[in-house]
């Protein structure tokens, strides 16, 4: 790979769990969902509302009366992908409603695609429904149009994203998320827990907690108390994680935390991860972005890389099995060779388990565009190559050390040849590696959690033999 990876694209909802045939004359809609898991949750909410109003979901353009395109607008490359998806939907269907992050720039979209029916911004669910009603009037049949208790899911049945807040209070110069999605707006803790409980009751075995800034959850609510069970729970990430981890035995439920900024109170999460009776996984997804204090200052991010190494050491002292994943930007404006070498040296010390890396891109509206000394494309590419070589070597060594260990895995897929694609507690879906079981999978089902003896390791993936089932 020589450029930034494409966004995840569950195009026209291929993993949609609704298999019922549409009733005669039922209005139907297609869905293209681009971008991050947070956008995927938005798509699920839109489809759930539409199903409740009697609309059917079409798996292709031809069978849809109209198509909703949920766009991404974080990077210029993502904007281009969104425009391509809109154009494809217009060509194949003709009736297109646009929503999502790029929807915050309606003039930009209409400049390229004037034939679209409507444009709405991110998480503007009511406006999307109004646009759908205008294009395809609803025709509900309350005796036929049944909706699952958990709503419409675009992920497999055994895992689900759980969005706990919208927006972000950070002012990172390379990011326009606050402009598109607004400031932090946390959901009440009891509402999150009720949704999670319904998902677990419906058979979900892995909850993936997502937001733009998971560590800041509840700050806007002043960490208010919420009624839950026979007591109260604070809208605070530590309290929320603790309660989520109690929704099922740790042998049957996984709770995975994403987008956790390394605030000091994150250390209070680590004992939960070390507790064998709590379902919160020993896994932190933390967007460090860089290590050099001057680069972090130009990014308008906390410049405390030395303290970050101390925090990592403390986390590992409390929970030796913790998996740390992060993302980084190389080639940020003004990045010198010595600053980049600082990042490589920091990686040697931090020894992160899972790492992603992006080459810096200008984003329309981002303050970083105006910074001096932009790094030439060939230098960004060369640094990306060197960074990934370093990250790959660390990953390979860490995975090799797991050969011979017994690990719990969750089964994501079993192909026609009986090969099971699984994930360990160290692996989030779509972004991390896999563990493959290529024999002895008879009787295994998607969603099973099984113990596996690791017998082979690669650069990013593992192979093993199933030992016991849970």
| Segment 165-203, tens digit of pLDDT | 988 898 899 988 788 778 999 999 999 999 999 989 988
Return d(Cα 464, Cα 441) in angstroms, integer: 11
Q: Which residues of 201-220 are buried (b: 16+ CB within 10 A; e: fewer)?
A: eeebbbbbbbbbbbbbbbbb
Q: Give me the pLDDT at residue 149, please.
A: 45
43: Cα separation from own chain's centroid: 13
Q: DSSP characters for 20-49? A: PPPPTT--EEEEEE-SSHHHHHHHHHHHHH
Residue 42, both tokens: 């938005």
Q: Which residues of 434-459 are buried (b: 16+ CB within 10 A; e: fewer)?
A: bbbbeeebeebeebbbbebebeebee
| pLDDT per position as a tens digit, 379-424 | 999 999 999 999 999 999 999 999 999 999 999 999 989 999 999 9
- Determine the 3-state secondary structure of 295 from DSSP: helix
Which residue(s) pair with 289 in the sheet?
A: 328
Torsion of CA 260, 261, 265, 269, to 10 degrees: 20
Given a cut of 70, is residue 8 above it in pLDDT? no
Given a cut of 70, is residue 224 above it in pLDDT? yes
Least confident of 136-140, 256-260, 322-326: 136-140
Given a cut of 70, is residue 329 above it in pLDDT? yes
Q: Give me the pLDDT at residue 393, please.
A: 94
Given a cut of 90, is residue 74 above it in pLDDT? no
Tokens 């450029």 locate to: 3
Q: Give me the pLDDT at residue 22, please.
A: 58
Given a cut of 60, is residue 426 above it in pLDDT? yes
CATH superfamily of 28-135: Methylthiotransferase, N-terminal domain (3.40.50.12160)
| pLDDT per position as a tens digit, 251-271 | 899 999 999 988 889 999 999
pTM confidence score: 0.76
Q: Give me the pLDDT at residue 154, please.
A: 58
Mean pLDDT taken over the chain: 87
> Quick one: CATH architecture of 159-400?
Alpha-Beta Horseshoe (3.80)
Kindly report the backbone phi and psi dihedral angles of residue 414, in degrees, each rounded to the nearest multiple of 5, phi listed first: -130, 115
Given a cut of 70, is residue 67 above it in pLDDT? yes
Q: Give the annotated binding-site residues.
A: 36, 72, 101, 168, 172, 175
Given a cut of 60, is residue 427 above it in pLDDT? yes
Q: Binning pLDDT at 50, 70 and 90, where does residue 448 land?
A: very high
Report the alpha-carbon angle 36-40-46, nearest 5: 145
Q: What is the mean pLDDT of residues 341-361?
A: 95
Q: Binning pLDDT at 50, 70 and 90, where does residue 75 land?
A: confident
Q: What is the mean pLDDT of residues 31-42?
A: 81
Given a cut of 50, is residue 148 above it in pLDDT? no
Residue ranges of the chain that CATH labels 2.40.50.140: 406-469
Higher-pLDDT residue of 1 and 401 is 401
Q: Give the annotated binding-site residues for [4Fe-4S] cluster.
A: 36, 72, 101, 168, 172, 175
Q: How far is CA 327 from CA 16, 18, 153, 429, in A?
A: 29, 34, 27, 16
Q: Give me the pLDDT at residue 468, please.
A: 65
Least confident of 7-16, 79-88, 188-197, 209-218: 7-16
Q: Binning pLDDT at 50, 70 and 90, where does residue 49 land?
A: confident
In the chain, % of residues over pLDDT 90? 60
For domain 406-469, give the CATH number: 2.40.50.140
Residue ranges of the chain that CATH labels 3.80.30.20: 159-400
Given a cut of 90, is residue 425 above it in pLDDT? yes
Given a cut of 60, is residue 141 above it in pLDDT? no
Q: Give me the pLDDT at residue 153, please.
A: 56
Q: Binning pLDDT at 50, 70 and 90, where does residue 302 land?
A: low
Which residue(s) pair with 69 in the sheet?
A: 32, 98
């Amino acid at each position: 790979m020589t450029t930034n990876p494409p966004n995840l694209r569950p195009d026209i909802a291929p993993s949609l769990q609704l298999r019922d045939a549409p009733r005669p004359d039922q209005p139907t809609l297609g869905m293209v969902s681009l971008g991050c898991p947070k956008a995927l949750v938005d798509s699920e909410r839109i489809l759930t509302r539409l199903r409740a109003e009697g609309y059917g979901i079409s798996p292709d353009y031809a069978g849809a009366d109209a198509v909703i395109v949920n766009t991404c607008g974080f990077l210029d490359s993502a904007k281009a992908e969104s425009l391509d998806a809109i154009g494809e939907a217009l060509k194949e269907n003709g009736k297109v409603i646009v929503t999502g992050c790029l929807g915050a720039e309606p003039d930009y979209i209409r400049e390229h695609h004037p034939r679209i029916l409507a444009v709405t911004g991110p998480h503007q669910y009511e406006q999307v429904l109004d646009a759908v009603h205008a294009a395809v009037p609803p025709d509900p049949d309350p005796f036929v149009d049944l909706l699952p208790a958990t709503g419409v899911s675009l992920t497999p049945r055994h895992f689900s994203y759980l969005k706990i807040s919208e927006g972000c209070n950070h002012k990172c110069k390379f990011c326009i998320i606050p402009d598109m999605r607004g400031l932090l707006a946390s959901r009440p803790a009891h509402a999150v827990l009720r949704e999670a409980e319904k998902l677990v009751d419906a058979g979900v075995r892995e909850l993936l907690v997502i937001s733009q800034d998971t560590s800041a959850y509840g700050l806007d609510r002043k960490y208010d108390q919420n009624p839950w069970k026979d007591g109260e729970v604070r809208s605070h990430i530590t309290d929320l994680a603790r309660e989520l981890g109690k929704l099922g035995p740790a042998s049957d439920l996984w709770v995975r935390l994403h987008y956790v900024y390394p605030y000091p109170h994150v250390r209070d999460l680590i004992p939960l991860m070390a507790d064998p009776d709590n379902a919160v996984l020993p896994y932190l997804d933390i967007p460090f972005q860089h290590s050099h204090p001057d680069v972090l200052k130009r990014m308008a991010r906390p410049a405390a890389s030395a303290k970050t190494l101390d925090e990592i050491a403390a986390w590992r002292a409390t929970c030796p099995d913790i998996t740390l994943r992060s993302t980084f930007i190389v080639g940020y404006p003004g990045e010198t060779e010595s600053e980049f070498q600082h990042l490589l040296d920091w990686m040697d010390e931090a020894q992160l388990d899972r790492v992603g890396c992006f080459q810096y891109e200008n984003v329309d509206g981002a303050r970083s565009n105006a910074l001096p000394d932009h790094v030439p494309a060939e230098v960004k590419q060369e640094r990306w190559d060197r960074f990934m070589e370093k990250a790959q070597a660390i990953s390979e060594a860490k995975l090799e050390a797991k050969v011979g260990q017994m690990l719990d895995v969750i089964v994501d897929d079993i192909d026609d040849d009986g090969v099971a694609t699984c994930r360990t507690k160290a692996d989030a879906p779509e972004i991390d590696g896999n563990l493959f079981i290529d024999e002895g999978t008879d009787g295994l089902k998607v969603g099973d959690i099984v113990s596996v003896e690791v017998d082979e390791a690669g650069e990013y993936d593992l192979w093993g033999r199933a030992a016991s089932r849970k």
